[in-house]
Amino acid sequence: MSIEDQEFVQILNIIRRGQRLVIQAKKEGAEIKLAEEFINEAKYALKLNKREEAIEYAKQCIFEVIKVKKEMDVKKLSQEGELEKLTKDQLRSKCIELGLEPLGLKTELLRRIKAHLEKLEKEGHVVEQPPKARTDPPKEKGDLRKVSDILAGKEKDGEDEIKERPAPPKPIKTSAAKSGEWSAEKAAFELTPGLSYLVEEKRPDRVFMVYKALTNIGDPGLAISRTNPKILSRSYGLNEDTAIWLTGKEIHGEIRSVLPILEFIMSLIEEHMTANQKSVILLDGLEYLLTNNKFNSVLRFLRQLVDNISQTDSILLVALSPEALDSTEVTLLEKDLQPIVYLE
């Protein structure tokens, strides 16, 4: 199968995912006419071989279904006595979904969720709104740019040449602690929500441990890695259902995979972030992406991710073997992502 055919299959899978969400939402009684229109438009765009528009409409369908289902869920929870019917584990899950602290007694969790729902009601909205739905191809607006522009190497001001961003205030560069002193839990505790980190190792190892530690405390995770999810599960105890194999091969069966196409990867991450205001995202395979994409395109892709993460309570971990890049490229990456160095 050619790369072009694989790209078509990936787009088709995104559309099918949207269709499944629409069908499930309709069964639950959701009003999703707009989502249905989005997915029908996505199928029509793909029929015309307008792949970028097909992806955009499919994404808008997914965003719309997630938004409507969250609104339904919150309204149901707001009804008298509905929260009290939930088990403590279910209340923890609801706290995580709403971006609240999941630790506490059942009465504390109930009080926390109720206070949050009351706050939402007073503010006149129910859930965080996804990107505004479009009825035609998106245009540049402010800092929000199409992924295709990022991949094509277009800066916001229309220039083609990459510009260095100013270094972030007080950049943090942490050297690895002695093996006997380091712990994944401590390293995870020191990370700040809303920031993106460049985890530098000869081979990715501790980055998986830190990711696992973050998911253990309740943050929903998404791991996109060059390593087969089954191996990650055996080696680090990662959840196979939230791991995606970054590969150029056609994968059959239950393993989720994605091609090294930046637009596809961005779509998966945006979908995850829309569903989870607070989460942890791991991207392993930067060197592999650079063998399939130009450095400038990958840099713009990462900058867009960093900007998106900074507007949430999520954490982004990007694994890197610095020896695979030249020093100038590593410096550019370290200007946008906080470096954590685990090089013995």
Question: Could you read off the pLDDT of 159-199 as tens digits, one per residue?
Answer: 444 555 555 444 444 444 444 577 888 888 888 889 999 99
What does pTM read for this prediction? 0.56
Each residue's pLDDT tens digit, 66-96: 888 777 777 777 676 778 888 888 888 777 7
Q: How far apart are CA 70 and CA 65, in angstroms?
A: 8
Domain boundaries in the chain?
3-123, 158-342
* Residues ≥6 apart with Cβ < 8 Å to 139: none
Between 102 and 174, residue with greater pLDDT: 102
- For 59, 150, 168, 314, the CA distances from 339, given in Å and listed in that order, are 31, 23, 11, 17
The structure tokens listed for 195 are 């920031």
What radius of gyration do the chain's Cα atoms show?
Answer: 21
CATH superfamily of 158-342: Protein of unknown function DUF257 (3.40.50.11570)
